[in-house]
Amino acid sequence: MKKLFKIENIIKKEVYLHLLFWMFYVSLPFVKYIGNDYFFTQWILNNINTPLVMLTAYFCYYFIFPLKKYYKFIIFLGLLFIMTMVGVFTSKYIVDIFIHQLDNYTFKSHIFSTLSEYILVCLIFYALYAIKKSYQLSTSLKTAELKNLKSQINPHFLFNTLNNIYSYSIQNDKKASELILKLSDNFKYVFHEGQKEKVELRKDWEHLKDFISISKFRWEDKLTFDVSEDFECENDLISPLILITFIENAVKYTSKQKGNNHIISIAINTQNNELFFKCSNPCKSTYYLESEWKSSGIGLKNTIKRLDLLYPKKHSLIIEESETIFVVTLKMILC
């Protein structure tokens, strides 16, 4: 029931909302006069202006309300006056035919009731327009913000990898050509698939494995990756370039620690359209937080913000940090 009344669902079902409103609008006089000796006549007379009211409401909705000019209020009042008078004289002609069946009719009250009818309907449609406009603006801002967040991803990775390729090329090491190929695949994904709203989980995971392969080349004996995967369905869809941030940061901070054979553990699996992701790496608390994480422009805050925008109330992100290990656990509903 809550989903039904979400703004995005209301906007998507706008046509049905309008149909429901007009069904209520047309049937209201029938309910009002039921039991009256001439209730059917009253119902017809009360709906004489309905086509004109609809015309006025939609003209305002599509042409007047979107105007940014200060004089749109004057145009609105002028339209209301013209349509009110057209409606009054049109219905007056028919009222004259049935005048012997109506009580307490006055031309003044007819004008007032007709004008009130137009104003009320136009106000309702203005409220609908304002909600729709607000949602569209929010969506536009959300899209722009996501593009801005995506644009912050991977620049340090590119520079560092190019430095490695350069050092391998000086030594005529065949690793240089392999790194170039991996790097090419990596950025092909970022610039093509990464710009899409959703991608297949299989493709996103292949991108992550390419990144892990490049990291193995770069850090050789210093880093060891323990990777496990279990996909119920690899065709599940996910927003791209989310998981990569956690692995990037794990590699970045672990590679700066002394010694070799530091283990980065990565586990990913899907079940019943849910994704479970876990990444853990060794760390030193003081260095980890003060020296790197807080200064990273593409780190935790970026990822949390993207998750909040893309998966509101559909994800759980837990970050645990101790003196020796840093663990990220993410659960997401993929649909």
Q: What confidence tens digit (pLDDT) does each residue in 273-302 have?
A: 899 999 999 887 544 444 444 444 356 777
Q: What percent of the chain has pLDDT over 70?
A: 71
d(CA 294, CA 297): 8
Range from 64-73, 156-165, 295-304 that averages highest in pLDDT: 64-73
Residue 261 has pLDDT above 50, yes or no: yes
Q: What percent of the chain has pLDDT over 90?
A: 18
Q: Quick one: fold of 152-333?
A: Heat Shock Protein 90 (3.30.565)
In this structure, of 140-144, 191-195, 229-233, the range with the lowest mean pLDDT score is: 140-144
Mean of per-residue pLDDT scores for the chain: 78
pLDDT of residue 26: 85
Residues paired with 281 in a beta bridge: 326
Residue 271 has pLDDT above 70, yes or no: yes
Domain ranges, ordered by start, for the chain: 3-148, 152-333
* DSSP assignment letter at 153: S
312: helix, strand or coil: coil
pLDDT of residue 315: 92
Higher-confidence residue of 99 and 173: namely 173
Q: Sign of the C-alpha dihedral, residues 71, 77, 80, 82?
A: negative
Task: Please give the distance of CA 194 from its chain centroid, rounded to a whole number.
Answer: 16
Nearest to 115 by CA among 84, 89, 88: 84
Higher-confidence residue of 201 and 27: namely 201
* DSSP assignment letter at 101: G
Q: Which two tokens stand for residue 228?
A: 């496990």
Residue 56 has pLDDT above 90, yes or no: yes
Q: Please, are residues 152 and 297 in contact by the beta-carbon 8 Å criterion?
A: yes
Residue pLDDT, tens place only, 24-34: 888 876 666 66
d(CA 139, CA 149): 15
**Cβ neighbour number for residue 141 with a 10 Å cutoff:** 11
* CA-based end-to-end distance of the chain: 18
pLDDT of residue 111: 86
pLDDT of residue 93: 74
d(CA 263, CA 325): 10
Tokens 């703004």 sit at which residue? 7
